[in-house]
Every structure is written in structure tokens, then in C-alpha cells.
């Protein structure tokens, strides 16, 4: 299999799912080792804490990502800081600290996203940062127009391709499904709409068994250049903008632990694409 780089990797736990899901850095490395993922942009999970300690919980999640980037710089060349609506101005300052003091290059927001995110994006835009808002809707259109010097990652949905392709600073993430479960990817159409140089692969660990999507890409009726661009080439070039010293590792990371596959890749029987591991 060709190399893959993941633009959408979460480390941590999400406690508002039933069952809850999560992965630590070591488990993530082992999954990458088994699936030809050489590197990833990493970020905290959604609602990884009850926020019992207030802003300290957000800081802790950002520190986990910064530590992964520091300890495994080839695999995690850049990371994003978590934004949280509940803390207002204090939350904005925490995101700024994560970028200026921890070395994270931008921010990630989790649904539901609304206009509250705009001051956070402004903080990232001041640093010409990278932003993933898990969003592909009219608000994303407005925000992309509002911040022309920020780089955005948006879900490569049909709506996004038709409305966000006009922005050169938006990249389109091939993740899970284009338009919800049951919809199918048309990579040739996407490349024609947004440009083949802006399509990037997203695994979305620890939520999604992305091996399904890798198989879809490998078997897609498109040329190898487009497959390579989606799998790793476009994202490698994007990462190098934020970390010019980084080069794509020749191999995936080594497996940290020998897992029983049934444990490492446990899924919801009612939805076999959804992982249920809580590490």
C-alpha cells in the first residue's frame, strides 16, 4: 500500500459517546504501524473531559498533543489546540498560549460550532495558522472569507466542493463519507471541482475505522497520481508550510505493542465503521 498521512488524528478520550471511545499516543502509533500511516496532524478529542478542573482540563489536552509532537516529531510534525466555548476570553487566551508556548500551529473546534468560534479563529489567523472546525456549511463560507490568511481544513462534502472551492486557502478532507453514511466518494468529480492538489486524507481516530476508507481510495477508478495526492502528497506539502524542517518518514512508526486485533480494532456491531476502543 502507498504511504498515508492523516490530517485528522485525535489523541485522548471522548466521554460523551456510548460507549465512550479514546486512544493514547502509544495505541495510535500501533494503529499507524498496521495501516501504512507515516505521519499525522494530531489534535485533542471532542469533550475529552467533564471540565471538572476548568481551563486546566483544556490545557492538559493541549499538552498531550504538544508532548506527542515533541516525542515523535516525524510522526506528529504539527498539532492543533482545542477550543472550548464555555470559557470565553479565558479560552481564547489558552488557545493563544498553546500556539505561542506549546508550539501548536492552529486550532480545532468540535460540533456544535457557531459564531462563538470566530474570536478563536482570529487568534489562529494572527499567526497564519491552521484551522479545522469540523464544519462545511454557510458559516464556514463566511469564516473562510473573513480570514484569507488562515489555512482551513473542511470536510470534502458535496456542499463544500460546490461552495468553498473558490477559496485557495481551504483544503478538503476525504474522511468517512462525503455526505453521510451510505454516500459514496467520487474522487474524479471532487478533483474537478476543487483541484486535485487540495484533497487530503483524514482517518478520524479514535472514532472511525479508516481502513475502510483506505480500501475505497486504493480501489477507486482514478489514476495513481490522484490517489497519491489524496493519500499523502498534498498533505506533506501542507505540513511543510508549517514545519519546513520536516520530511515524510520513509516508513510508518514501529508498533509499540502487540495487540489482539479484536481489541485494537473493536467496533460497534450495529455500525461496523465506528470504533469502540477506550484507551
197-215: pLDDT as tens digits: 999 999 999 999 999 999 9
Given a cut of 90, is residue 20 above it in pLDDT? no
| Beta carbons of 72 and 249 less than 8 angstroms apart | no
Residues 84 and 141: their CA atoms lie apart, in Å, by 21
Residues 224 and 248: their CA atoms lie apart, in Å, by 19
Long-range interactions of 160-168: CB distance < 8 A, separation 24+: 160/136, 161/189, 161/190, 161/193, 161/194, 162/193, 163/138, 164/136, 164/140, 164/194, 165/193, 165/194, 165/195
Q: Is the peptide bond before 4 cis (omega within 30 degrees of 0)?
A: no
Q: Is 59 helix (H, G, I), strand (E, B) or coil?
A: helix
| Beta carbons of 144 and 152 less than 8 angstroms apart | yes
What confidence score (pLDDT) does residue 164 get?
99
| Beta carbons of 161 and 194 less than 8 angstroms apart | yes
Residues in the chain: 279
What confidence score (pLDDT) does residue 247 get?
98
What confidence score (pLDDT) does residue 154 get?
98
Given a cut of 90, is residue 174 above it in pLDDT? yes
Query: Which of the 8 DSSP states describes residue 255?
Result: P
CA distances from 215 to 32, 47, 176 (A): 15, 30, 12
What confidence score (pLDDT) does residue 53 get?
80
What confidence score (pLDDT) does residue 5 get?
99
Q: Mean pLDDT in the chain? A: 96
Given a cut of 80, is residue 18 above it in pLDDT? no
Evaluated on CA atoms 166, 222, 40, 260, the torsion sign reads positive
Q: 87-128, pLDDT tens digit by residue?
A: 899 999 999 999 999 999 999 999 889 999 999 999 999 999
Q: 41-80, pLDDT tens digit by residue?
A: 999 997 655 677 888 889 999 999 999 999 999 999 999 9
Single out the residue of 25, 29, 24 nearest to residue 253, CA to CA: 29
Mean pLDDT, to the nearest integer, of 207-224?
A: 98
Name the percent of the chain lying above pLDDT 70. Answer: 97
Domains of the chain: 4-275 (3.20.20.140)
What confidence score (pLDDT) does residue 49 get?
59
Amino acid at each position: 500500500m502507498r504511504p498515508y498521512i492523516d490530517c485528522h488524528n485525535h489523541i485522548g478520550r471522548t466521554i460523551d459517546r456510548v460507549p465512550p471511545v479514546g486512544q493514547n499516543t502509544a495505541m495510535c502509533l500501533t494503529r499507524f504501524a498496521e495501516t501504512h500511516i507515516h505521519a499525522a496532524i494530531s489534535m485533542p478529542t471532542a469533550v475529552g473531559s467533564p471540565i471538572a478542573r476548568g481551563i486546566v482540563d483544556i490545557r492538559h489536552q493541549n499538552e498531550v498533543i504538544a508532548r506527542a509532537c515533541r516525542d515523535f516529531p516525524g510522526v506528529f510534525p504539527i498539532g492543533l489546540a482545542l477550543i472550548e466555548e464555555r470559557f470565553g476570553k479565558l479560552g481564547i487566551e489558552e488557545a493563544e498560549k498553546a500556539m505561542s508556548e506549546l508550539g501548536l500551529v492552529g486550532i480545532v473546534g468540535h460540533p456544535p460550532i457557531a459564531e462563538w468560534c470566530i474570536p478563536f479563529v482570529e487568534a489562529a489567523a494572527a499567526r497564519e495558522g491552521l484551522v479545522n472546525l469540523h464544519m462545511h456549511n454557510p458559516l464556514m463560507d463566511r469564516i473562510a472569507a473573513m480570514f484569507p490568511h488562515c489555512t482551513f481544513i473542511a470536510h470534502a462534502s458535496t456542499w463544500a466542493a460546490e461552495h468553498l472551492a473558490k477559496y485557495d486557502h481551504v483544503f478538503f478532507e476525504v474522511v468517512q463519507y462525503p455526505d453521510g453514511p451510505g454516500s459514496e466518494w467520487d474522487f474524479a468529480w471532487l478533483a474537478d471541482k476543487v483541484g486535485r492538489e487540495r484533497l487530503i486524507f483524514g482517518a478520524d481516530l479514535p472514532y472511525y475505522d479508516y481502513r475502510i476508507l483506505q480500501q475505497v481510495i486504493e480501489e477507486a477508478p482514478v489514476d495513481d497520481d490522484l490517489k497519491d495526492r489524496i493519500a499523502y502528497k498534498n498533505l506533506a506539502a501542507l505540513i511543510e508550510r508549517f514545519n519546513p524542517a520536516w520530511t515524510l518518514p520513509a516508513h510508518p512508526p514501529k508498533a509499540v505493542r502487540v495487540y489482539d486485533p479484536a481489541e485494537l480494532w473493536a467496533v460497534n456491531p450495529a455500525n461496523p465503521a465506528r470504533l469502540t476502543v477506550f484507551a
